Each structure stands twice: as structure tokens, then as C-alpha cells.
Amino acid sequence: MAKLQARKRPSTMLHIEPVTLATDRLVLRPLSLDDVPALGAAASDGNQWEKKTTTVPKPEGFEEYVQKALDLQAAGLALPFATVVKDGNRVVGSTRYMNIDAANHRVEIGTTWIAKSWQRTFVNTHAKFLMLRHAFEVLGCNAVEIRTHSQNDQSRAAIERLGAKLDGILRRHMIMPDGHIRDTAVYSILREEWPEVKARLEKRLER
């Protein structure tokens, strides 16, 4: 009886390094400690730290927030961005690649928050387009995950509009800053699904 031969594991790893991504209206640039004041101001727009479904520090906590993000970047586990609206060069939030699994060509887009005045605008659509395009077309990812609080209906609706598929719910997944235990909704987009998702996003960018 012929022996089954194990398939060789690809030797290539994801090579993720700081990069600036941009559309005609939005820039995602590498996060730095110089962004601390602007991030604090953006978080104060709507008191983002009061939301139970996201984790955003108060303005005085952003130096530690950014430093932790940079430490994760140095360890190869994250790539954080400042979200900047081109009109006025305004920092309106932050997002990042995280839980980077270089061996398996997977990343998660997460730790995303946007100042209240810029929610439900072009910002989230442009940011997701940039990050997904870079992940699939430059980094060569097999899949991109997006996670959110299972009770964050606004976030879940936005993720589903992208065309991401629900993989499942991680029950009692995280203890949030206010002490409640979060169930996490896990979505993903696969490499072969990207062309359809991209076409949908490009139509939204044209509006």
C-alpha cells in the first residue's frame, strides 16, 4: 500500500513592516509617540473610553497605549496605524494589524476606533479597503480576521457589509475594563473571497 506523503509546509513567512497606506481622502500611517496628543483629542470626541464595547483609554492614558502598541510591533505581533483624514491632516482614530500569524499567513484587523464625529462616514470604509488590499495583494495573506464585541451591533453590521463571514462566537472571551465579560464575534475574509469584497468596496469608495 502506498504511503501518503506529507505536503511540505511553505517556507515563506509573512514579511510585515511599517508602511503608509492612502486613498484620496484617508491616510493610515505608522503610529508613533508623537501622535499621543492628537489621539487623546480624537478619543475625547464622544468620550470613546465610556463605550462598553470597545477599549479606548482616556487622553492621559495614550502614552502607555501607544508604547504598548509599539512594543507589540517590535515583537512582530502587531502593526499599528494612526487614522488620518487628509482634509486638515486630522487624526481621527487608530487601527492595526494584530495577532499576526506569519507562518500561517493570517492577520487580524482590530483595536479599531474612530472619533464620534467621523463614525458612519467614509473613514471606516477607506481604512478597511486599504488594510484588506495590503493584506491580500502585498502581504499575501490567506485570511484576514475581524473581531468585535458580540453586542456591538454597529460594528457587526459594518463588518458584515464588507462581505466578511461569521466564523463563530468566542464565549466569555475577554474581561473588559469595566469588569463585564465579553463574548467575541469572529469574522473572516479569505483570499479567494477578496476579489468580490474588493469590488463591493470600490463601489462604495466611488460614492
List C-alpha distances in Å: 110 to 70, 115, 140. Answer: 15, 16, 18
Query: By C-alpha distance, which of 44, 136, 163, 133 is closest to 93?
Result: 44
Query: By C-alpha distance, which of 190, 170, 187 is closest to 105?
Result: 190
List C-alpha distances in Å: 1 to 4, 5, 6, 7. Answer: 9, 12, 16, 18
Total of domains in the chain? 1
CATH number of domain containing 104? 3.40.630.30
**Residue 154's pLDDT is what?**
86
> Over the stretch 164-188, which tens digit does the pLDDT of each residue have?
999 999 999 999 888 899 999 999 9
Is residue 33 in some structural domain?
yes
Angle at the Cα of 84 (from 78 to 89), degrees rounded to 5? 145
* pTM exceeds cut of 0.95: no
**Domain limits for position 38:** 21-206
CB 83 within 8 A of CB 115: no
